[in-house]
Structure 1
Amino acid sequence: MKKILTGLLLLIVTSSSFAWGRKGHTMVAQIAYSYLDEATKNNINTYLDGMTLEEAANWMDDIKSDKKTAFMKPFHYANFPKGTKAADHDGGNIVSILNTAILDLSGKDKLTRDEIKTNLLFLFHLVGDLHQPLHVGYGNDKGGNTVQLNYKTRGTNLHSFWDTVIIHDQNISLSDCINAVKYSPEELQGIKKLNVVGWAQESRELLDTVYDYGNPKVSETYVTNSSKIVGKQLQKAGIRLASVLNMFFKT
């Protein structure tokens, strides 16, 4: 991971966005911050070095158009055959990169300030991506990217539909996500438990519902039901991101 970090330090740029869309990724970061105390926020902001929450949450998408970071595109997802469970495989995939970033930060005293920042940016974005079911989907349709849909007479694909269309069409707000589910303290502790593979598997267990969209015209019932899932997934992502951030930046 150290070579990857070294090559990324000068690539804090802006461009276009993908996965969950800017709004979705920004809301994950905002939800996470709502679970942090002021001292932890200040510690994180020091490492972000002037970046806003929106910029930090979307940095990995913003650099996709830079040829120097083309090798990072597979970091956003992991494909597993249908009927199999999520697993941690070596290589440039979302599960492996997240686990490596967490491992690196567990020894952050040995990292440079810039290396800490890059790992932090990986966390901000990839914890969000992991909770979009199609980011841990099937390779045969490229995580739903080749599945064509028709919604309100407009053409799109299943992956884009879940990344951005549902959030914008249903006007899902930060408040919707924060209040998506009222968890008991015990339930909250279970959700916070660090288990990247387990989080990925939870997302995969939603895939049957994701693919039950009708063919090819998408029903309003599907959109309404899917928006509730999106709100819950963004909420979980924010809670879990906060838990990881607290682990490394509370003191």
Structure 2
Amino acid sequence: MGCHELSWLGRLLLLMQLVDGVFSWGKYGHYAVCKIAEGYVSEDAMGTVRKLLPEWAKGELAAVCSWPDDIKWNYNWHWTSSLHYVDTPNSKCNYNYYRDCYDSSGHRNHCVTAAIFNYTNQLFSAYQGYNPRFNYNLTEALMFLAHYMADVHQPLHVGFIGDLGGTSVKVGWYRRKTNLHHVWDTLIIDTAVKTLYGSDLSAMIQAIQKNITDAWSNDRSSWESCIYNNTVCPNLYASESVRFACKFAYRNATPGTTLQDDYFLSRLPVVEKRLAQGGIRLAAVLNRLMPLQWLDDNQHEVA
């Protein structure tokens, strides 16, 4: 690696530290959503998923689910940054696609729900008998869809525009200073893994899977379904998220507040349920999209 590459890498790492926690469930959250989904993807659909996955994933969907976060700081991928979230007007605890789906430059249809529609449509074009006008990169479409399905279930990815989804709400998390968005992206999950699950993410995922089987078993079918039998319904997921943001994320978390056990223990069940819903819904979308079939190599190679 030359001096230029090392310099670029150093600037990238510095930038990632400065924006720590912005626009991402965090690797634990994305891994959990996709690992949960793997348990509910049909055998036929999983066969197609494995054909689309890049070689480095070694057949594991969860291995690729943080990829859109890994590449968005690259200049060539910077345009994807606005696709990880959607902001709503301040104190409006509801979501409206036509009102809310635009980026910071005012470009319409640049938000997480639009991205989910887009990449679902790309995969639909390939697997439901429609001859697309464009030769889509279906590997990238799968990785983006899996990632954004998780993002839209994080309540503060559908937070208020005035505080950038809680990013500018400075709070304490036990003994450290942070922002409210990072609490929901990463710190609630990290704290739970460390203090309740023996520093074992797989134990947390297993606990969520047990709740899906037991406590939430009657809810699963409603999570999977979409109105009018649509393939995917991200507007519903975003509407849920902003309601959770108002009811749980923003409540008792004003700037300067130090959040500790009361906040952590009362919000963790919300986080775990949203991870479960994201995983179940991702699996349902893939099952609706992907019958088992052979692919031409040029359909799914990663550039």
TM-score (norm 2): 0.73
Identity %: 27
Aligned twin of 1:202: 240
Aligned twin of 1:245: 286
**Cα 1:35–1:226 shift into 2, 3 Å:** same
**Cα 1:113–1:168 shift into 2, 3 Å:** farther
Matches of 1:125 and 1:45, distance apart in 2 = 16
Aligned twin of 1:68: 76
State whether residues 22 and 54 of structure 1, in contact with CA within 8 Å, keep that contact through their aligned partners in structure 2. no
Tell me if 1:192 matches 2:224: yes
**Cα 1:98–1:206 shift into 2, 3 Å:** same
Tell me if 1:211 matches 2:216: no
1:149 counterpart SS class? strand
Aligned twin of 2:297: none
Structure 2 residue corresponding to 1:132, chosen from 137, 149, 154: 154
Aligned twin of 2:275: 234
- Report how far residue 202 of structure 1 moved: 0.7
Aligned-partner residue type, residue 246 of structure 1: N
Tell me if 1:86 matches 2:95: yes
Tell me if 1:225 matches 2:234: no
2:87 counterpart SS class? coil
* CA deviation map 1:28-84 (0-9, x unaligned): 001001002333212101111324234310111010221111111000001111325
State whether residues 180 and 231 of structure 1, in contact with CA within 8 Å, keep that contact through their aligned partners in structure 2. no
Tell me if 1:33 matches 2:74: no
Matches of 2:161 and 2:207, distance apart in 1 = 32
Structure 1 residue corresponding to 2:25, chosen from 2, 20, 24: 20
Aligned twin of 1:48: 53
State whether residues 213 and 219 of structure 1, in contact with CA within 8 Å, keep that contact through their aligned partners in structure 2. no
Q: For structure 2, which runs of at least 5 residues remain unmatched after alignment?
A: 1-12, 99-107, 198-203, 227-232, 293-303
State whether residues 176 and 231 of structure 1, in contact with CA within 8 Å, keep that contact through their aligned partners in structure 2. no
Matches of 2:286 and 2:186, distance apart in 1 = 26
Range with bigger deviation, 50-59 or 196-205: 50-59
State whether residues 133 and 204 of structure 1, in contact with CA within 8 Å, keep that contact through their aligned partners in structure 2. yes
TM-score (norm 1): 0.87
Aligned-partner residue type, residue 73 of structure 2: S
Matches of 1:158 and 1:22, distance apart in 2 = 17
- Report how far residue 184 of structure 1 moved: 3.8
